[in-house]
Structure formats: structure tokens, C-alpha cells
Amino acid sequence: MALSHRRWGRAHPILYREFEESNDLVDRKSVRFGMRAAVACFFLFGCFDLWLFPDVGLYGVLTRIAVGLLFLAIVEWQVSHECSMRVINATCALSLAVAALCWLLVVSHTRYQTNFATFMIFGTVFVLSSSLFFRIRFSVGASSSTLITLMFAYAAVDANVDIRFKVILVVFFFSFLGLALYLSWQLAAERYVTFLNATRAQLNEMADREKGLQLARIANTDHLTGLKNRRAAVEEYDAFRERWLRDGKAIGVLLIDVDHFKAYNDHYGHQSGDRCLIDVGHALQAAASNAGGILGRYGGEEFLAFTHVADPDALYRFAESLRKAVEALALPHSQRRDSSSVVTVSIGASITRSDANSHLDRMCSEADNALYTAKANGRNGTHVFDAQASLTDNEDRNLAVILEQAVERDHLSLVYQPIVDVERGGVHALETLMRLRGPDGVAISPAIFIPVAERTGAIIQLGRWAIRTACSEILAAGVAKKVSVNVSPVQLREASFALFVAGVLSEMKLAPSALALEITEGFDISSDSKVLQTVSALQKIGIEIWLDDFGTGYAGLSWLQAVEFTLVKIDQRFLHNCETEEGAKFLQDILQLVRNRGLSVVLEGVETSEQMDFLKKAHVPLAQGFYLGRPAPVATAREAAAAARSTKVG
């Protein structure tokens, strides 16, 4: 309440003392200038002394010079010797009164009394000077101004002029004093209010800064374990990566998974499961710190760790130190289906290489492959990713051959899933999804063949085929006004990709805005200059760029800054979690974040009428999910479009 100043109220003593102290430095600098300006003004008015009072004018000028130089020297000495501002301000106030008195004593004896009485009106300059040239405390300035007014009023009464002239002068002096005192008080009050506002703003800024630090800690900390969360770990990894690029010291990345954690959670309960994750996290943190590493919670029962290592052997030793630290906890786990009876972890590891992408998404992908091998080998072990052996597996080799021949041998097909306008109910766009069948006719999951296609480079040919086919089957045929196609960063790194897409649109005479390209958040492209250049080129053509599965990767927020997306597709898990009040609020926060960026929104995973009702209440413009339409061949899409047109006609 002390900062809530009422203009007519008494100032808070402590705050006012702070106000005076804060003004000391400013006043100390300005008082010299003020005194010099006041003395110069005092000297200049001496010209009127010589003109109006020929008999005593010279004495008046000499008096002005003597008094002015005396007090100027005193103030200069006080400032240079760092006297208190109270003393300096008192000296300034005294100088005004003394200067006025000395001048009156000399000039009042002139024979030219009418000139003297008339010129006395400029005595108001002395009254104003405490506010005009100085920042004197109001009480001191008021005392000085009142004393000066009394002196000039007495001189007016004593002057040898008509009584009416005397009355007018006296009334003028006291009226002017009242106005001057009000002005001086107003300025002092305004300075104090300005100080209060500045202090309040400073306190608010400090509070906001502290709040920001708290929010940053919350945003970077896993709420359960107290470790770094995925976002914070990504930022730390970027610093490690810069050091690797600069100094060449390799980075080892570990993905750590708690073995049989679901069985532990189901048997011992969620609270014990949480306690287990906390204990495991702290043990891993201690072991990682001993090796100069960073540890964070990756999600669920998985942890992420990385450090600088000399070679794969050093990486293996680092991973084993973490694995053994957890094993040493000896946390009971009676529900395991193997020979162990304590909580253990399996670890997959990868090391940066000069011939491969060192971004964290690629490193985690390799570590994840190694983790799968560690689990397949019986768990409670470590496996380091071997780039040379990554495709020696027969299945991967066979799949690579199938992908190479997929377009030529007609193993590929496309299905389309509608994106629906929530308010109007019509189809806004169709999303293109790729399907692959092996030579035996058995369907191969996109989760299996897409990663292999990206590793082998086959995705470039497959992606081009998908874009051309979707444009032909949907846009050129008039099935829908807009179609979206998923693209991989591998495609976007290709220098000629934008030119190819522009060529397809030109060949089929299609509007660029009818095509949207979806980029999945699981890949971090925000620092990939080639990808960003391609995206920029596509946007200049007029093609829409959509962000797919927002909230599932690590780079969503940085992407929203790096790329001007037209639309954001929010991952289905956020909708499925909105059955709880906390989940619904979290989804609303995500929606608000995207809307604040001026982007359109698609919410994925709509599977029930209740979820659709939620979308309507939340004013979500677009939606996608099995409740609205499953992925279907182009023939089904044509029939649906024809039915919609006939309904409109009817």
C-alpha cells in the first residue's frame, strides 16, 4: 500500500527518503548546470540596470557579478567535495534570497522610482528560479520564494510611486507567489509520483523475472523425477553438438528403458511405480554426472543421457556405469519373467559420426534401434548401434529391394482420409497415406517401411510418386479442393524437390494452394538450412506447409518460430487425454498457443461423438479421425464426393 500514493496524502517516510536518495545523483549533475544558468540569467538582467537606472545601474551590475560569482563558487566547491544535496539545495535557495536582497538594497536608492517599481515585476524570476533552475525540496523552495516575495512587497510599498501602483505590485507579488508555490508543489508531487511508478515497475519487473525463472524451471523439469525433461535435454544436447562441431569430441547418446516396468506398475501400484522411476532417475543422474554427462527423462519409463566420449568403447563403459548403478539399487521386482528379481534397465547407445546426421532425432533413432537389440538379447544389458550392420538383417535388405522396385512393380497404393470442417460438416481436405504390399501381397506397415525408405533414400522416389498420384487422383479429378501429402526431411533436403512439385502443379494446371505438404514434428528441421530453404521455396510457390503430429516430437515450439506454417495438426493423444479436467485444460492451452500464432488447427484422433461435441465447444475448426472417416481408396473418396454434390443439388 506504501506505493499507492494519494496526491494530497502524506508521503511514506521511508519511500520519500528513498526518493530523495535516488534523486541525489541526478540532482548532483543538474545543480551545476542550474546554478550556472541562474547566474548567467542574473548577469543578463544587469543590462536593464544600466538602462533604467543610470545613477545606480553600475553598482547594481557589480552587485550582481559579486553575488553571482560568490554563490557559483560555493556551489561548485560543494559539488566537487560531495557535500550532501540537502546542504547544496539550501545554498541554492539561500543564493536566490541573498541575490534578490542585495539587488534591492542597491537599486532601491535610484532617483528613477517609477522605472524601479515597474522593473520590480521581474522579481518574479527569483520566485520561479527554485523550480526553474533547481530541484529544491518543496519546503525549502517555498521558504525561499516566500522570503523573496516579502522583500519585493516591502520594496514596492517603500517605493516613491502612486499608492495604486503599490497596491497593484503587492497584490501581483503575492498572487504570483501562490501560483509559483502551487506549480512548485505540483512538480515535486509529479516527481515523487514518477519515482513511485518507476519503483513499482521495477518491483513488477523483478517479480516477473523471478516468475519467469520459476516458469523456466517448471518448463525444463520433469514434474515426477525432478530431472531435466525432454525439452531441456534437447537444449543441452544442442550445446554438446556445437562443441562437437567445433572441437571434434564425439557425443554418445543413450536411451535407457526400465525393464518390465508395466508389470512392476501393475503389481506394486502407481505410487510405487512413481517411486521406482524417481529412485532409478536419481541413480542414473548420479552416475551420469560422475562422467560429465547429462540425464533427462525421455518419457514414460525411458531416460535419455549423453556425454562426450572418445570412441564406442568409452560409450559402452559409460552406458554400463549407468546400468550397474540401477542394478545396485536392488529394488525388488518379483513380477519379472526372467532370472532376475530386481529392477534393471536396458540401454541402447549411439555415437556421433562425421558421415551421418548428428541431430538428436537421428541419434535417438539409432539408440532406439540399439535398445531394441538390447531387449531382444535378454534385457539388463547395453548395445551400441553399429552403422555398418544396420542393414545386414535379411528383412531390412529384402525390404530395401522391395522399396526400390515398389513403383515399377505397382506395390504401392494411396488411401485418403478426410479432414472435416467441424462447423459446416463438409470435407476441407483429404490426407494422403501411402500403403505398401510385398510380392506375396501381404501389407507392410508404414511404421516399418517408411524408416527403411528414409535410410536407403528410396523415400525420394516414393514421395514423388505419391505427390503426382494424389494430385492426379484427387485434385485434377475434382474429388476434393485440397489434398495433403506427408513429406520426409530426406525429400526436403533434395535441392530439386520444390522444382519438381512446381512442375507437377503446372503440368496438371492446378492451383498451388490446393496442395499441402505435411511435415512430421518427430524430425527436427529447425536448424537444417537445406530443409528450411526448400520449405521457403515451396511457400513462395503458394503451397501450404502443415505441421503434423504437433506435440509428439521435441522441436514443436522452435518450429513454429522457424517456419511459417499454414496449419497445425495436433496429435490425437491430447484429445484422448481430455476426458480429465487437467487434460482438457492442457488441450485448450495448446489450441490457444496455436491460435495466437494465427494458424489454423486440425485435431486428430476423433473417434466418438462426445469428442466431436468437445471440438465444437472448443471452436476447433477442423478435425480428423475414424469417427469422421477412415482412410479409404480413391474410389471411395470419389463416391463420397459425388454423394456430397448430389445432396447439395437436392
DSSP letters of 498-529?
HHHHHHHHHHTT--GGGEEEEEETTS--TT-H
- pLDDT (0 to 100) of residue 507: 95
- What the block records as the C-alpha cell of 174 is 503575492
- What the block records as the C-alpha cell of 1 is 500500500
Phi, psi for residue 83 in degrees, rounded to 5: -65, 160
- pLDDT (0 to 100) of residue 4: 46
Phi, psi for residue 300 in degrees, rounded to 5: 60, -125
What is the spatial distance between Cα 49 and Cα 57, in angstroms, rounded to a whole number? 4
Low-confidence ranges of the chain (pLDDT < 70): 1-29, 131-132, 135, 188-189, 191-192, 195, 198, 207-208, 210-217, 337-339, 355-357, 376, 387-397, 521-528, 552-558, 645-650
- pLDDT (0 to 100) of residue 24: 56
| Residue 495: Cβ-neighbour burial (10 angstroms; 0-12, 13-18, 19+) | exposed
How many CA within 13 A on the CB side of residue 491?
A: 28
- pLDDT (0 to 100) of residue 34: 80
Q: List Cβ neighbours of 292 (8 Å cut-off, separation of 6 or more).
A: 307, 308
Side chain identity at residue 233, one-letter code: A
- pLDDT (0 to 100) of residue 8: 44
Give CA separation, 172 vs 28, 116, 121, 129, in Å: 34, 15, 8, 17
Give CA separation, 249 vs 232, 310, 385, 417, 483, in Å: 21, 7, 18, 46, 45
User: What CATH number is given for 230-384 in this structure?
Assistant: 3.30.70.270
Q: pTM for the complete prediction?
A: 0.44
| Residue 132: Cβ-neighbour burial (10 angstroms; 0-12, 13-18, 19+) | middle
How many CA within 13 A on the CB side of residue 198?
A: 11
What is the spatial distance between Cα 520 and Cα 547, in angstroms, rounded to a whole number? 6
Write out pLDDT tens, residues 385-396.
876 655 455 566
What is the spatial distance between Cα 465 and Cα 228, in angstroms, rounded to a whole number? 42
- What the block records as the C-alpha cell of 171 is 497584490
The count of other CB atoms within 10 Å of the CB of residue 423 is 12
Residues of the chain with CATH 3.20.20.450: 416-431+459-649
Write out pLDDT tens, residues 118-141.
888 887 787 777 766 776 777 777
Q: Which residue's entry shows cell 516477473?
A: 208
Give the 3-state secondary structure of residue 348.
strand
* Beta strand pairing call for 382-384 and 345-351: parallel
User: What CATH number is given for 416-431+459-649 in this structure?
Assistant: 3.20.20.450
Note whether 629 and 420 are within 8 A (CB): yes
Residues of the chain with CATH 3.30.70.270: 230-384
What is the spatial distance between Cα 498 and Cα 519, in angstroms, rounded to a whole number? 14
